[in-house]
A and B are shown apart, each in its own frame.
Chain A
């Protein structure tokens, strides 16, 4: 089967750095995506990794290790507006091309 694990909650202070980990089990792995969702809103795309290594986009970076079935999202210079839920999602070719989302990590940023 397919499964993803990520922490349910993380709390950090404004200006700090936080890392949200994601481990996955799936066949037909294609890539790992990260999405942000504010309360009452729709998910918005942050990053996608298909190859091992670090992908940097402004204050956000995403890392993938295919051999360890592991990835993380790194948020730097945290701002209050970063308080949201963050989802990792596996893109996999398994009985067709599918996206499987994790349960999400709720990030609370404190002043």
Chain B
């Protein structure tokens, strides 16, 4: 199993350009997430999808759109890139939440996409 895969690994854009970040998981998870991580900071939730066909905004959705194409794939689109969107973008997935504790509640993260907007 590959787990969570992301493409591309690196990308440089000029201000105003658009691009789509791809994410796929092979663990049959319902929930998928997009985060951004700025240098020296934690992860901030951009959008998430609790199941195929549904998406919801996270903390920092402005400037982004998402598509849950099917159960495996969740893409993130920047319509008009800005320098403030320079960041590392992580996709993650998770199975059904176990109420109590321990293994089963983890999010599995992809390797990240390092995006620079000039």
Measured CB to CB, the residues of A under 8 A from B are: 30-31, 33, 35, 41-45, 47-51, 55, 57, 87, 89, 91, 95-104
**A57–B102 alpha-carbon span in the complex (Å):** 9
Segment among B10-18, B21-29, B38-46, B65-73 that sits at the interface with chain A: B38-46
Indicate with 1 or 0, residue by residue over B84-118, a CB within 8 angstroms of chain A CB atoms. 00000010000001011110111111111000000
Cross-interface CB contact of A96 among B40, B56, B106, B109, cutoff 8 Å: B56
Q: How many A-B residue pairs have CB under 8 A?
A: 74
B48 close to chain A: CB less than 8 A: yes
Within 8 A of A (CB), among B25-84: 31, 33, 35, 40-45, 48, 50, 56, 58-59
Decide if A97 touches B50 in the complex (CB within 8 Å). Answer: yes
CB distance from B11 to the nearest CB of A (A): 16
Decide if B102 touches A47 in the complex (CB within 8 Å). Answer: yes
Cross-interface CB contact of A33 among B35, B44, B58, B105, cutoff 8 Å: B105
Given A42-B109, A42-B110, A48-B102: A101 touches B43 (CB 8 Å cut-off): yes
A97 to chain B: closest residue by CB: B50
Identify whether the interface residues of B are mostly helix, strand, loop, or mixed: loop
**A41–B111 alpha-carbon span in the complex (Å):** 7
Decide if A104 touches B50 in the complex (CB within 8 Å). Answer: no
Measured CB to CB, the residues of B under 8 A from A are: 31, 33, 35, 40-45, 48, 50, 56, 58-59, 90, 97, 99-102, 104-112
19 A-B pairs besides A96-B50, A97-B97 with CB distance below 8 A are A42-B111, A43-B90, A45-B105, A45-B107, A45-B108, A47-B102, A48-B105, A51-B101, A55-B102, A87-B42, A87-B43, A96-B56, A99-B33, A99-B48, A99-B107, A100-B45, A101-B35, A101-B44, A104-B42
Q: Please indicate the chain B residues that have their CB under 8 angstroms from the CB of A47 in the complex.
A: 101-102
